Structure 1
Amino acid sequence: MKRFLLLLVLVFAGTQQNFAQEKLSETQKLEALAKVWGFLKYYHPEVAKGSFDWDNELIEKINAAEKAGDKAQFNKMISDWIDSLGKVDVCKKCSKKDDKKYFLKNFDLSWTDDTWIFDQKVIEKLNFIEENRNQGDNHYITVGRSSVANYKNENTSNPEFISKGNTLLELFRYWNFVEYFFPYKYQTDQKWSDVLTEMIPKFSSVKNTQELHLNVLELVTKTDDSHSYFSSKETNSFFGLKMLPVHYKFIDGQLIIVEIARDFHSQTQLKKNDIILKINNQKVSELFNQSKKYLPASNTSVKERNFVYYKIPTRSNDESLNVQILRDGKTIDLDEKTYPFNDIRFSQNKNKQEWKMLSDQTAYVDMGILEKDNVEKMFAEIKDSKAIIFDIRNYPKGTIPKISSYLFTKRLDAVSFTSANFNYPGKYDYMQTEKYGHNNNSSYKGKIVVLVNEITQSHAEYTAMILDALENTTIIGSQTSGADGNINDFEILGNPTRFSCLGTFYPDGTETQRIGIVPDIIIKPTGEGIKNDKDEVLERALEFIETGK
């Protein structure tokens, strides 16, 4: 009797499992459809020619997927769709073996063999297309200078919410851009396929244009890339089109006011060095945590930077904000008027020097304003110093090739890159390691100190990497942006967006994305230093030059 009952249980369990396998959820069907659509777009030779209205094909298949009642019907729809695209010829070039080494951390087409979703017929068709994939020209993407991708023939000009179909189209379009052409997909906090699973219900239930744009901004943020960006009038309106007339720093969870906008001193009760504790009864830390999902960044330091840069905590569409501050040890509540962005201006330091001597022995170079044409003159004046401080807490003007010729005694490996392989999307090629400098027996012999922080991004990080190739370089400061290399600029919903497109590494393969340029001596500004107008990072550099510690 016990055997009979056990047999019934096993049969029932097996039947339930088979039934579960035959039923696919709406999200499962749409997720599979998104992947197949993107795969065919870049891999199928006829689709890659631009022979089809590929966006419209997706809209039609979204409707068909909704009507597919089970796994069999869904797979028949996919199989018939693939057949309708035309014959795929055998690609002899694709099967040709070579000794080329690829960077494969980003490459994953394992989903094409998922028997939970696809039947054997569809799996075989997808695998055949991979093995005989499109080569060369693609209607939807080309490679430009320095391996920057051009997402051409993409119809992304309509920013309005129209239907579920058009919202999912934008999700699937962007998701596949990242899937095949974002070099750091493997480094995102959330697995990229899980991002698709999470975002499908959100995009499917969009009710208006602003909600659609916020979903896109959240999606862009999930790349965990400081180069990533998306902005529109809808997202700006969400955060607020007015702001308080103050500039501040975000230090240890506190907003410390460092400047009152020009011509606004008499129109606000706020003062320099006030610490903002709450806005409309919300702690600053709470405001930061709420906004994080809308702040694309490689690391927390850059999220904090952008929280301040975009004035998130002090923006509003209201006429005023209630602000709780700490001033001279006392907590004060103030009602403060907000003003349109365009009415607010902050002072600009126009007295900066490209370089100067801080002492008889130490030179200081502001890399954010140093011009290429002035590098020769600069070294003529500072060549006898015992140390040079290169401040890269800014964005340099492409001066590093000239600078390196004065610093390097020989050519040195400085930076390595990977770039997308457009004949096998998802795979990346190793590029030749870049060397800098040349044989120069009269090169500068003193100490090199490089200052960095969260503003040090992209070309600034690249510059720091080159200087770091020298044995006598010491990097001082805090975590950099962690987004090096070139970027892809394109549009989504008719608005600009971007992400990194080159993988950037030290010559030994050490990664820089999200990590940044790691300082030898770590120091960050403090609240007290900000209040007293101290540059604590520069002070630490001078201490190191003086003591060697």
Structure 2
Amino acid sequence: MMSGLFIFSKSSIFNPMTRLLLFLLFFTSLSFAQDSKYNLNFDEFEKDGELPDDWIVWGNYAIQKDSVDKVSGPYAAKIIADSTASFGSIAYKIPANYAGRYLKLQGYIKTENVANGFAGLLIRVDGDSGSLSFNNMQSQGLNGTNDWQRYEVEVKFPDEAKNIYVGGILAGTGTAWFDNFSLMINGDKDIQLMKPKVLTYKPAQLDTAFVDGSKFKLKKPSSTQVQKLYKLGKVWGFVKYHHPEIARGKINWDNELFRFLPKLDSVNFDLELAKWIGSFNITEEGEHNLPDSDEYEQTPDYSWIYDESFLTEELSKKLQEILKSKREKKHFYFSINPSVENPSFKNENSYLGMAWDDSGIKLLALYRYWNMMEYFNPNNYLTEKDWDEVLKEYIPRFLEENEEIDYKKNVLQLIGEVNDSHAGIWSYDEALNNFFGKKKLPLKIQFIEGQPVVVKKNNSVEMTINEGDVITHINNEPMDDVIRKNNKYYPASNQSARLRDMARKLLHTNMDSLEITYKNEKGVFTEKIASVEEWNESDSIPSSHKFIKNDIGYIYPESLKRGEINDILEKFKDTRGIVVDLRCYPSEFIVFSMGNFVVPKPTSFAKFTSTSMKNPGYFEYRNGSKVGSHLKKTYEGKLVLLINEETQSQAEYTAMALRIAPGAVVVGSQTAGADGNVSQIILPGGIKTMISGIGVFYPDGTETQRIGIVPDIEIKPTIEGFRNGEDELLNKSIDIIEDSKKL
């Protein structure tokens, strides 16, 4: 995974150190009043309150004002960790109606006994479709006890920004103080002294005809209606991403769908459809030459546009005219990130207050997502189902039920059809939380040898089940049936990643207890175990590095502090071997720093596919990445990389780069199979999801999506090994390094 964007994996969001990133990234906050002068110095507090005026709280730690321990002014803000929660934060929202290229948040922090986490400034820039840029100092690893010190963080300030959140955060244990914040634009302009820019709006943004819903209702569509809606969905999406007037923001394409839907039952539906599309004139002359498909790795299927057995002649000709029309350099609904070239979706209404029986908005959700995948998913050809069949299948499913949970379960399953471990519903969702269960058993399970094994228990709760026991039934239902029933709710590139995610929720429930049947070497047992509302099941995170033996170094990238890798490599430069444990999500981007340390000359290790503004759906190879340097002596010891289903995204990219080192060995099992920078998507109902936004391949064109990183030596943990407290992958890596000494 390339640096420069805030990227995280599924595997990183389920422990307190990192799952707060997901929460902060997608959490939708309530708006609050803004004064012309922003209360960034904590000078003003609500009367008799502990929260500064106009600030909000994220997380569950205690927030207090401190009139004694401060930098200046009457107060500082203090966050005190709570052992029952994972993080706490205070944040302040500022409208993003200022001009600039980047933002710099400066502020003072003091810490006391911060452990198993970090303290930091945070800044997040939001657009209509979610977070656009984010930094919370996690990679700097600020912990321990430190006196007041000034820190700063920077993020990009995209044109489509709508709100800026600034604040302070504490994760783990301890206490942190914050004071004297300032927000600078382009590094030298204090936002307190700047005048807001005059906002201008596109005609599409001024069309508010359907703010109260589409007013279209259809619960049980006939087969004829489904066929019409299938055709409408394909036409609507094609026109959205190819019509120049829509690109200019002159037409609100959501609203036009709502205006047309009542004509679904017209006896002249095809004529009405052609007339509707024909009403949107192309005002600027010019022609776009379609690229040569042979030069592209993946191309859109336009054959249906020319199929007059599917479309009327009039509509077919109109769509061909749109296809060949002059393309704009910008588009109202999407852009291509200039450095990474993944798509950025924008100006998509979240319809937060939608009615769950609003058939028009539910169809819009399906059409929006389906067409985003049709034209912007670099891996759409890897889906298990034919993508056209997915659209046909989900039209009646989206319309048949009128409850919130049914709609959101359908969206979750639709997302799963993409077969991408980066996908899923990442915004907090109360309905889905209730569906999976708001409580959980005080047990942590992991699939070992394909079986759900207890790997941790809450020892403060009395129960006979122990670590290493295998769960066979939940409430008398065999685990094979439980897994089969739940597969559809866990979007993933492969089954290894799906089981990884499923293990984190299988013991969730709304019941006060669950009856668990389990087995061990002594027999089979059944026990009723009480559920709890909160339990921190995460394991302590290993230190960033250590010597396993005198001449073998070990690196755990999730724990790296900013810039620390260079000192570690200097320390390990004369060892006989280094183990890089990529069964985690790296906190630092080490591809080039470590790649240049172990690879003796510039060598390609990956290449990418991406689409473009003018030709959405056409994915071409672009320049790949290289690591290695001629400038210095490289590492001569043995390099071993450890991987498993927790290895995802940036961790997979790191493995691709480091495995080209001479003699490097990759040990473990199938990774999550989701590489490439993510693109965020917002769907009706405030649902936020993502896709892998670029294709990632080995230099010879071998895919990594879904397949993941293939190990040189496949080793999976065993139940016996776990019971004996062994890390079988690490043991193998030591054997490999020690055997290499004999050669």
Cα pair distance change 1:369/1:102, threshold 3 Å: farther
Q: Which residue of 2 aligns with 1:420?
A: 611
Pairwise CA distance, 1:163: 1.7
Cα pair distance change 1:102/1:330, threshold 3 Å: same
Separation of aligned partners in 2, 1:418 and 1:229: 23
Does residue 126 in structure 1 map to residue 323 in structure 2? no
Residue identity in the other structure for 1:215: N
Question: Which of 84, 101, 111 is 2:279 aligned to?
Answer: 84
3-state DSSP class of the match of 2:623?
coil
Contact preservation (8 Å) 1:106, 1:183: no
Question: Which of 555, 571, 576 is 1:381 aligned to?
Answer: 571
Number of residue pairs matched by the alignment: 514
Pairwise CA distance, 1:409: 1.5
Does residue 273 in structure 1 map to residue 468 in structure 2? yes
Q: Which residue of 2 aligns with 1:511?
A: 703
Pairwise CA distance, 1:60: 2.7
Contact preservation (8 Å) 1:180, 1:425: yes
Q: Which residue of 2 aligns with 1:455?
A: 646
Q: Which residue of 2 aligns with 1:220?
A: 415
Separation of aligned partners in 1, 2:614 and 2:469: 57
Does residue 353 in structure 1 map to residue 546 in structure 2? no
Contact preservation (8 Å) 2:247, 2:328: no
Separation of aligned partners in 2, 1:355 and 1:345: 25
Please list, as runs of the form range in 1=range in 2, the aligned pairs for 1:221-370 lying within 5 A after superposition.
221-231=416-426, 232-261=429-458, 264-309=459-504, 311=505, 313-340=506-533, 343-346=534-537, 348-349=539-540, 352-370=542-560
Q: Which residue of 2 aligns with 1:9?
A: none
Contact preservation (8 Å) 1:167, 1:203: yes
Separation of aligned partners in 2, 1:193 and 1:287: 30
Separation of aligned partners in 1, 2:499 and 2:445: 12
Whichever structure has more helix as a proportion of its residues is 1
Contact preservation (8 Å) 2:496, 2:645: yes
Separation of aligned partners in 2, 1:287 and 1:495: 26
User: Which 5+ residue runs of structure 1 have no aligned equivalent?
Assistant: 1-22
Q: Which residue of 2 aligns with 1:10?
A: none
Please list, as runs of the form range in 1=range in 2, the aligned pairs for 1:372-521 lying within 5 A after superposition.
372-396=562-586, 397-492=588-683, 493-521=685-713
Residue identity in the other structure for 2:526: D
Cα pair distance change 1:336/1:133, threshold 3 Å: farther
User: Which 5+ residue runs of structure 2 have no aligned equivalent?
Assistant: 1-221
Pairwise CA distance, 1:37: 0.5
Question: Which of 29, 37, 62 is 2:228 aligned to?
Answer: 29
Pairwise CA distance, 1:95: 2.3
Pairwise CA distance, 1:75: 1.8
Q: Which residue of 2 aligns with 1:68?
A: 266
Contact preservation (8 Å) 2:611, 2:619: yes
Higher alpha-carbon deviation: 453-462 or 200-209 = 200-209
Residue identity in the other structure for 1:247: K
Q: Which residue of 2 aligns with 1:49?
A: 248
Separation of aligned partners in 2, 1:295 and 1:464: 25
3-state DSSP class of the match of 1:334?
strand
1:369-402 per-residue CA deviation (whole Å, 9 max, x = no partner) reads 1234222221222111121111111111212221
Cα pair distance change 1:88/1:533, threshold 3 Å: farther
Cα pair distance change 1:24/1:331, threshold 3 Å: closer
Cα pair distance change 1:252/1:348, threshold 3 Å: closer
Contact preservation (8 Å) 2:425, 2:687: yes
Residue identity in the other structure for 1:345: N
Pairwise CA distance, 1:89: 4.5
Q: Which residue of 1 aligns with 2:159?
A: none
Separation of aligned partners in 1, 2:384 and 2:703: 16
3-state DSSP class of the match of 1:147?
coil
Residue identity in the other structure for 1:165: G
Contact preservation (8 Å) 2:357, 2:402: no
Contact preservation (8 Å) 2:599, 2:662: no
Separation of aligned partners in 2, 1:144 and 1:319: 48
Contact preservation (8 Å) 1:301, 1:481: yes
Pairwise CA distance, 1:228: 0.3
Separation of aligned partners in 2, 1:200 and 1:137: 31
Q: Which residue of 1 aligns with 2:714?
A: 522
Cα pair distance change 1:177/1:45, threshold 3 Å: same
3-state DSSP class of the match of 2:435?
helix
Pairwise CA distance, 1:90: 4.4
Q: Which residue of 2 aligns with 1:5?
A: none
Contact preservation (8 Å) 1:248, 1:308: yes
Give aligned-pair identity as a percent: 34
3-state DSSP class of the match of 1:219?
helix
Q: Which residue of 1 aligns with 2:384?
A: 189
Residue identity in the other structure for 1:425: P
Pairwise CA distance, 1:441: 4.6
Normalized against structure 1, the TM-score is what? 0.89
Does residue 113 in structure 1 map to residue 306 in structure 2? yes
3-state DSSP class of the match of 1:273?
coil
Separation of aligned partners in 1, 2:539 and 2:450: 26
Pairwise CA distance, 1:106: 4.4
Residue identity in the other structure for 1:466: A
3-state DSSP class of the match of 1:358?
strand
Separation of aligned partners in 1, 2:538 and 2:379: 38
3-state DSSP class of the match of 1:336?
strand
3-state DSSP class of the match of 1:368?
helix
Residue identity in the other structure for 1:370: L
Contact preservation (8 Å) 1:371, 1:399: no
Cα pair distance change 1:88/1:108, threshold 3 Å: farther
Separation of aligned partners in 2, 1:100 and 1:345: 52
1:107-153 per-residue CA deviation (whole Å, 9 max, x = no partner) reads 21222123332122211111121111532111111122422322211
Q: Which residue of 1 aligns with 2:346?
A: 152
Contact preservation (8 Å) 1:64, 1:77: yes
Q: Which residue of 2 aligns with 1:201?
A: 396
1:65-95 per-residue CA deviation (whole Å, 9 max, x = no partner) reads 2x133xxx22211111112111365434x22
Higher alpha-carbon deviation: 150-159 or 204-213 = 150-159
3-state DSSP class of the match of 2:559?
coil
Normalized against structure 2, the TM-score is what? 0.67
Contact preservation (8 Å) 1:24, 1:117: no
Aligned-residue Cα RMSD (Å) equals 2.0
Does residue 137 in structure 1 map to residue 336 in structure 2? no
Contact preservation (8 Å) 2:248, 2:328: no
Whichever structure has more strand as a proportion of its residues is 2
Separation of aligned partners in 2, 1:78 and 1:230: 33
Pairwise CA distance, 1:101: 7.0
